Structure 1
Amino acid sequence: MKARRRWRGRRRRFAALLLLYTLLLLLLLPYVLDYGAWRGRADEEPLLRRCPSLEAALSEWGWEQRAPQGDGGDGDDEGDEEGVAAAGGNGSAAARKRHIYLHATWRTGSSFLGELFNQHPDVFYLYEPMWHLWQALYPGDALSLQGALRDMVRALFRCDFSVLRLYAAPPAAREPPAAVNLTTAGIFGWRTNKVICSAPLCPAAPRPRHEIGLIDGAACEERCPPRALRELEAECRKYPVVVIKDVRLLELGALQPLLREPGLNLRVIQLFRDPRAVHNSRLKAKQALLRESIQVLRSRQRAEPRGPPRQHLLLPPPLLGGARPPPGPQHRAEHFLGGALEVICQGWLGDLLLARRAPAWLRRRYTQLRYEDLVREPRAQLRRLLRFAGLPVPPAMEAFVVNMTRGADYSSERPFLISARDAREAIHAWRERLSRQQVRQVEAACGEAMSLLAYPLSSGDTRPFPGRLPWEAGKPGRFPLSVGVH
């Protein structure tokens, strides 16, 4: 009996020791792995070490997983741009169709960039379709709307425009959402859309679809009656390239599921502009941008979930301590626009760092463009963008892009009007219109993104980012951004 008790006691002690040993292993192993990873990152760039959530973001968006089906893996991408038109590999019409998303933000020249694709005879162009969603879900913060935006992009790329009915003006109580009578009037910038304002949707159109040149919005509205969405969908399916331009997607990573989706052949062109020029342009259109700036600003807490609170630098001095905006509509508007620009710059920084560590398959589907480079080298940049999209370069389009950037003057009185202007002057306009204090605040809030994009500070200190820039990771010429454009 005593021997049996001793045996049971030994078994209990052995089980307790085994449990304790297992717990020690579980606690020590992650520590050892983390320490080794930290030692391995000791030589990394200081900026990456200041972004502890970067690897978590990479894991969250899944960039480092296997390449999308049919993409060709992570091998050499030589000749990839020339083969964009045949991407997909199975030879079907769906695989040959290309989908281009113009990833931009407000006042970066995105309407001009989109107009270049609107002019191309092989492109079905959609101008800011997500405006309807933001208006319907106001005042939802920008980050919380990213999933809905992605779903809308997926449907639109498939030429399914019925998704717009979900966010149209509320119908009468007795009518279901599907009964909303949506037409071509009021969507996709219809008054200047080359597809909507040309045959066959508009037999009396002022000019044929293949002719390069700006559409007269008043003439289109007069001669082109509204058409049903199903007719517009049928036209969409005829085009080899569908291009969406929008400014409301805050994170490149939100497009990751679409970049991997076998039914889509998605390419992303991200447009940047000097944040000081962006701030200057936003201030001139502050009333028009106020609602959406509030939605972006509401995302600031969600955009910075880790680490100590940051001092937000684009606020007037009385607001740095957290006080309410000062009285007066002008001061409140500047407060909201300045805070939103800071969130946008942090989004740019996140996108640039994601692109920096992107695998080869993503680099083949993503390219970057600075507005300043498009203005200074319009022909070269147009050729690069159209080659990336798998499109030919009509000579008339080269003449068009040059004429659009070499106008008589720079008109800032009508900021949302696309017209020929001296866009080179727009590069430097912020120098004369922003105060020194405003310039310092923008540079302090956006300095890290400006460094990655090679925008020199007003003091002349470019603060070069250690190591190679994102566009230097691929073959030469992949992302040709000139340095020191000012």
Structure 2
Amino acid sequence: MNIRRMFYRPRACCSFAVITYAFVLGVTFTLIQTASEIFIDSFRHGKQDLNGNGAGNTADQSPQLAQIIRRSILNYGPRFQVLPSLFSKYDENADDYSTPKTATHILIVTNRRSGSSFLGQLFNQNKNIFFHFEPLKSIEQTVPRQFFPGNSTEMISDIFKCRFPPKHLLLNFYSRNYLHRMSSRVLSSSPLCEPEETSAKRPTCKALKSTTTRSECTKYKQFAIKTIRFAKLQDIEPLARDPSLNLKIIHLVRDPRGTFISRAKSEKKPMDMTADELNNVRYLCLRMQQNLEFVTNVPTPDWLKGIYKIVRYEDMARKPAETAQDIYDFAGLGRLPRNVVQWLRNNTKTSRGDSYAVTRNSSATWQEWRYSIPFETSVGIQDVCRDVLRLLGYREVPMQYLLRDAREDLLKPLPSIWNSLHRPKDIS
């Protein structure tokens, strides 16, 4: 027994020593790696400064550091945002993730209940387009509000450039969220969707793999993303100024009176205007007004010219094929594919499904709100959204009988102030 104890303790001590040594070695290696990266980065910036190719000061380096931190959040979650060295392996082959300049990158921005799911299908049904449905929701609950715009543009850039490293938050999000994955034809079909054996009635896919997703993504030259999570259009500027992207921004808007009724129905809320609901409408229209004035104020930001187009939901609903072709022309996508035209025919004649369904009798539903909204609610929305209605060509209704009379058209032509913004840039 004594002999056994004599040999047992050294083994335990030895094991503990090995573990401790490995831990210390790992920490030391990480510190050395981080220090070397900082040294190399500083050396490069210093060299640029000496050669006159760059400022090489702290102000110039901070955006790069911020970008590394944002990518760290996307890869490893917010707990790792202060450890940029964890992302060092990500950029060493950056050229491998670059997108051809002939590619087209379409970003649909809008507000909730504005018909964006329907608009997104114009791209999702196109077999040549890699479509993403609300990818920014993956970071909505994990990133502090003040850091959300920067992380949002970083994630959009990752998607457009097919950067999907292991542990990327978006891949984990899509693998867990049925609606967002199944809303993308590419993500929910082979080879990115391997059927998972389950007793559930609805089809499910196995978790997305980084290598497969990146490989499949690089086969595409046309990309589209639909999101309701950009509060300010100016937050998109970094993407618009990225020379490796051929960005097209489609800004979808809707009559706030119709948006209010659509939200009330989807959330099963009363349609009467309470104080809280009035505040919600006021916030919606303030947000819309700020974005509309940002675009229409003189001078219009240079980075928006030729890449921005406003689309009214009502125009899309009244003339779906004509509006869809106009959008494709703007994006440089050519004629509508036959299957997209057929999809429009099949999905704009009848209404069925839940509040997120894209099948609608569009010729009727675009002004359905007129017959269900209380007149007092309509007046209340008009009072707080007057500037938005004016900028977008929506008529106010001062009397109840005019609101209910279908012969009264509440949709005027889109004001001419928007026309010049839709023209492509002159290339000379």
TM-score by length of 2: 0.64
SS of the residue aligned with 1:121? Answer: coil
Of 184, 193, 196, the match for 2:184: 193
Where does residue 139 of structure 2 map in the other structure? 133
Checking the alignment, whether the CA contact within 8 Å between 2:248 and 2:307 is kept in structure 1 is yes
SS of the residue aligned with 2:243? Answer: coil
Structure 1 residue 230 displacement after superposition:
2.9
Structure 1 residue 265 displacement after superposition:
1.5
SS of the residue aligned with 1:136? Answer: coil
Where does residue 370 of structure 1 map in the other structure? 312
Aligned ranges 1:169-318 → 2 under 5 Å: 184-186=175-177, 189-202=180-193, 220-221=203-204, 224-286=205-267, 316=274
Task: Say whether residues 1:403 and 2:346 are aligned partners.
Answer: yes
SS of the residue aligned with 2:395? Answer: coil
SS of the residue aligned with 1:189? Answer: helix
Where does residue 152 of structure 1 map in the other structure? 155
Checking the alignment, whether the CA contact within 8 Å between 2:195 and 2:206 is kept in structure 1 is no
Checking the alignment, whether the CA contact within 8 Å between 1:452 and 1:464 is kept in structure 2 is no
Aligned ranges 1:91-170 → 2 under 5 Å: 94-137=100-143, 145-162=148-165, 165-166=168-169
CA displacement, residues 359-418 of structure 1 (integer Å, 9 cap, x when unaligned): 5652310001111111111111111111222223212211211321111x4x5x721123
SS of the residue aligned with 1:473? Answer: helix
Identity score, percent: 26
| Aligned-partner residue type, residue 362 of structure 1 | L
Where does residue 344 of structure 1 map in the other structure? 284
SS of the residue aligned with 1:261? Answer: coil
CA displacement, residues 315-346 of structure 1 (integer Å, 9 cap, x when unaligned): 63xx5xxxxxxxxxxxxxxx2x5423322212
SS of the residue aligned with 2:367? Answer: helix
Cα 1:162/1:425, change in 2 over 3 Å: farther
SS of the residue aligned with 1:120? Answer: coil
Task: Say whether residues 1:422 and 2:361 are aligned partners.
Answer: yes
Query: C-alpha distance in 2, partners of 1:144/1:284?
Result: 33
Cα 1:119/1:475, change in 2 over 3 Å: closer
CA displacement, residues 180-228 of structure 1 (integer Å, 9 cap, x when unaligned): x6664527721242112323334779xxxxxxxxxxx96642xx43331
Stretches of structure 1 lacking an aligned partner (at least 5 in a row)? 1-91, 169-180, 206-216, 289-313, 320-334, 479-486
Q: CA RMSD in A?
A: 3.5
SS of the residue aligned with 2:385? Answer: helix
Query: C-alpha distance in 2, partners of 1:368/1:263?
Result: 24
SS of the residue aligned with 1:268? Answer: strand
Structure 1 residue 163 displacement after superposition:
9.4
Checking the alignment, whether the CA contact within 8 Å between 1:451 and 1:464 is kept in structure 2 is no
Stretches of structure 2 lacking an aligned partner (at least 5 in a row)? 1-97, 403-407
| Aligned-partner residue type, residue 105 of structure 1 | N
SS of the residue aligned with 2:393? Answer: coil
User: How many residues of Structure 1 are paired with residues of Structure 2 in the alignment?
Assistant: 311
Q: Which has the higher contact order (CA 8 A, sep 6+)?
A: 1
Checking the alignment, whether the CA contact within 8 Å between 1:355 and 1:363 is kept in structure 2 is no
Checking the alignment, whether the CA contact within 8 Å between 1:128 and 1:247 is kept in structure 2 is yes
Query: C-alpha distance in 2, partners of 1:464/1:226?
Result: 46
TM-score by length of 1: 0.57
SS of the residue aligned with 1:448? Answer: helix
Query: C-alpha distance in 1, partners of 2:245/2:393?
Result: 33
SS of the residue aligned with 1:193? Answer: coil
SS of the residue aligned with 1:96? Answer: coil
Cα 1:416/1:468, change in 2 over 3 Å: closer
Checking the alignment, whether the CA contact within 8 Å between 2:131 and 2:224 is kept in structure 1 is yes
Cα 1:202/1:405, change in 2 over 3 Å: same
Query: C-alpha distance in 1, partners of 2:340/2:361?
Result: 18
Query: C-alpha distance in 1, partners of 2:255/2:173?
Result: 38
SS of the residue aligned with 2:309? Answer: strand
Query: C-alpha distance in 2, partners of 1:404/1:280?
Result: 22
| Aligned-partner residue type, residue 441 of structure 1 | G
SS of the residue aligned with 2:101? Answer: helix
SS of the residue aligned with 1:232? Answer: helix
Query: C-alpha distance in 2, partners of 1:106/1:95?
Result: 32
Checking the alignment, whether the CA contact within 8 Å between 1:191 and 1:218 is kept in structure 2 is no
SS of the residue aligned with 2:131? Answer: strand
Query: C-alpha distance in 2, partners of 1:474/1:127?
Result: 26
Cα 1:131/1:475, change in 2 over 3 Å: closer
Checking the alignment, whether the CA contact within 8 Å between 2:101 and 2:244 is kept in structure 1 is yes
Higher helix share: 2
Query: C-alpha distance in 2, partners of 1:247/1:397?
Result: 23
Cα 1:464/1:281, change in 2 over 3 Å: closer
Where does residue 89 of structure 1 map in the other structure? none
Cα 1:161/1:315, change in 2 over 3 Å: farther
Structure 1 residue 166 displacement after superposition:
5.0
| Aligned-partner residue type, residue 435 of structure 1 | P
